[in-house]
Structure 1
């Protein structure tokens, strides 16, 4: 692994800064969260595509994707759905060494030191960033405000370079962050081409990870665009991802834990029985609940963006081939993780939403466990296992199979290729160009004069 810091003075400062966190509260919190992950928390659903409209170029917001786990009759439990534990996605030896030796375990690699230091410093300052997010959104609620708040004070803070872009075409986008007066990093976040699914990510982290921000109604918590939603149920909610009893006890301090209500109240959910290596019945949430991130309209959009961005990233950097490229869906209160490996055609979705906030008796704080999960996926180049399909049996998404000859268009796209508008234009001649790959020139018959 190449060293992240090349200047010896900078490297010395880097190691000095991280050593200050030895035996700190931040180190303890990180250990607690990693322990929970190692113990198989947060399953991912192995998604299989039955059909989609990716053959014709269209906006992410116009995408239609039929997925095997999201069938009409979710009460039928005869079909098995593949699951994979989140722990298998990562290089567990890094976590295990940290659990055993803490800060000392990462001091032999400046790359890993930099990534860990980024998280530890954010955990130290999380109350400040959490307060900033709340104040920005409260001052001027709306999608653009949520985009700016999450980009500036959460997502970008979890990667070493703090590099991000928000969509420069977003309505009423401020030039500076309303809270800290820092210049907003805005630019072209377009992904895809007119021959593929395409659109603008709301946020791009390190020009690699696409983030879609979905607006909720500030009074009800539901989408302000309810007319577009399909098959949503008003009485369903995803359960808190911190469901493990030991984890709840360990995190039940001034900064972490679950309220008594979230622990004791069993939500009403639609469930689907899944496959399990232990041959026991495991139920996962496939509910289409009140939260906008769980309805099928949003799911279609994010799946299309996940697949398209996965291809774009591998096209630009072959070193990412065989890795799961994350795409994140966010509201002001939740995050949903999607992963796609375009080389091996495997698509995963987190089986639970990450709750961004924990409500303590005295205040509302950013959830440490959710922060750590986001940090792992935002730094997937450091932590992810390559070619996981060689170690774990996974179903292909069938996107390659479904697209057939059109797949070549996806293997050409990159970030920032086009400037997408609110409609999905098809330039003159596109139909003819598409038809050419199915046709061959016919030679005139010798008998024709």
Structure 2
């Protein structure tokens, strides 16, 4: 097989190298919110979709709102309103990523790069060279179901941005064989979709399945397209069949405009939903523990977990060693009208290759709040630290139901009569 260094030399002075350097110079940096968990059900045997998480800022906002409501003021006489102003911390792009590497790539491109970074660089340059083909293949996702969208997203986007194209999709989806042809219907696409077990976690605690596992490190969930708002016209089937690129909801606004108005619109219309956040935080934490357990060299890294629709990405990061939880402050739109956003492509590429581009043990250098997950799960923490992946979860009823029935049987057998109070 040809040496990576020799393959990279073909890109010296190329259009793709120039495009990468320009994109890095013009990058719209993504910041991440540092979240603390107030309460959760991580110590119960439930799936990710049944995860219940209350973030501390959400709790504080709710309590503050209740106190400000005059109807309930008398119930909070001992609470000072000023004490309940939520504390928000964010980790900036420049803090999270190794800016020396970003600067070197944006200045020198292929030349003089350290050996360990070359495989990741080769993936993005190869993708940019074949960008038109992949974009055309992705443009047909409008009328497809989640399984088909998952296949196209991994074949023509996500797997292309990691060395070795190492991935597996969930083989439990209906009609999915171990290998199937990519459903993009592009005449030049000969790719097959690799599927297998994507189980994460342990049945006594949070557990479930990712839609995609990348590089045996990163979990991805593909979500249904969010419904259009009342202000948007719902396109007919004929409309969606004849439209290329993103959905109608994403063509309403142009994500390349750098304004707060656009960012607020994106937050309202895309995948930053409370129920999505709960499910994805549970998956991000569990997946990070599973990956660290399988590969101790990942200790200290913020391990990414992604949620996506065919229009957007939402990124969660968790460091099991330092108990740090981050979520991107805004979703990443992957389309600029009918064209893939280069800003999204580059930032997702950097996130997927996090061990090359991110800073390790971020909590050692910055005052970042712990997520409180370690304390909340208490004696269940060893279960997370030993959790694994690639184990199917079986049973006729959910683990929480089994535990509940076992608890009732034990109570009936061993419960003692309540003793009389002593005066």
Smaller-chain TM-score bracket: 0.7 to 0.9
- 1:389 and 2:394 matched: no
What is aligned with 1:102? 109
* Residues matched between the structures, number: 366
Shift of 1:322: 0.4
SS of 1:103's equivalent in the other structure is: coil
Q: Does the aligned pair in 2 maintain the 1:127–1:365 contact within 8 Å?
A: no
Q: Rate the CA distance shift 1:375–1:267 in 2: closer, same or farther, 3 A.
A: closer
User: Counterpart of 2:74?
Assistant: none
CA distance, structure 2, for counterparts of residue 302 and residue 241 of structure 1: 26
- Give the equivalent residue in structure 1 for 2:77: none
The answer for the alignment partner of 2:377 in structure 1 is 403
Q: Does the Cα contact within 8 Å between 1:203 and 1:210 map onto a contact in 2?
A: yes
Distance 2:35 2:226 in 1: 29
Residue in structure 2 matching 1:57, options 17, 37, 45? 45
Q: Secondary structure at the match of 1:145?
A: helix
Paired position in structure 1 for 2:150: 147
Report matched runs for 1:27-176 at 5 Å.
Answer: 27-37=17-27, 41-71=29-59, 72-73=61-62, 78-106=85-113, 108-109=114-115, 111-135=116-140, 137-138=141-142, 140-173=143-176, 175-176=180-181
Worse-superposed segment, 379-388 or 417-426: 417-426
2:7 maps to what in 1?
17
Q: Hey, what's the Cα distance between the residues in 1 that align with 2:226 and 2:264?
A: 22
**What's the counterpart of residue 442 of structure 1?**
none
**Structure 2 SS opposite 1:335:** strand
Give the 3-state SS of the residue equivalent to 1:42 in structure 2: coil
RMSD of aligned C-alpha atoms? 3.2
Q: CA deviation at 1:426?
A: 4.9
CA distance in 1, matches of 2:383, 2:224: 31
Give yes or no for contact 1:48–1:395 (8 Å, CA) kept in 2: yes
Measure, in 1, the Cα distance between the counterparts of 2:395 and 2:131: 36
358 and 290 in structure 1: CA distance in 2 versus 1, 3 angstrom threshold: closer
Q: Does 1:185 align with 2:190?
A: no
Q: Do structure 1's residue 304 and structure 2's residue 282 form an aligned pair?
A: yes
Cα distance between partner residues in 2 of 1:50 and 1:241: 36
**Contiguous gaps of at least 5 residues in structure 1:** 1-8, 223-235, 243-257, 271-284, 437-449
Q: Which moved more, 1:299-308 or 1:178-187?
A: 178-187
Residue 348 of structure 2 aligns with which residue? 374
1:144 and 1:172 in contact (8 A); partners too: no
Q: Is the 8 A contact 1:189 1:416 kept in 2?
A: yes
Distance of 2:397 and 2:358 partners within structure 1: 36
Partner residue of 1:227? none
Cα distance in 1, alignment partners of residues 152 and 329 from structure 2: 26
CA deviation after TM superposition for structure 1 residue 417, in Å = 2.3
Contact kept in structure 1, 2:203 and 2:393, CA below 8 Å: no
| Aligned equivalent of 2:315, options 323, 328, 337 | 337
Structure 2-normalised TM-score?
Answer: 0.79
In the alignment, what sits opposite 2:244? none
Answer whether contact 2:316 2:326 (CA < 8 A) is retained.
yes
CA deviation digits over 1:302-349, x for unaligned, max 9? 000000000000001110000000000100000011100000000000
Q: CA separation in 2, counterparts of 1:43 and 1:217?
A: 23
Q: Which residue of 1 aligns with 2:386?
A: 412
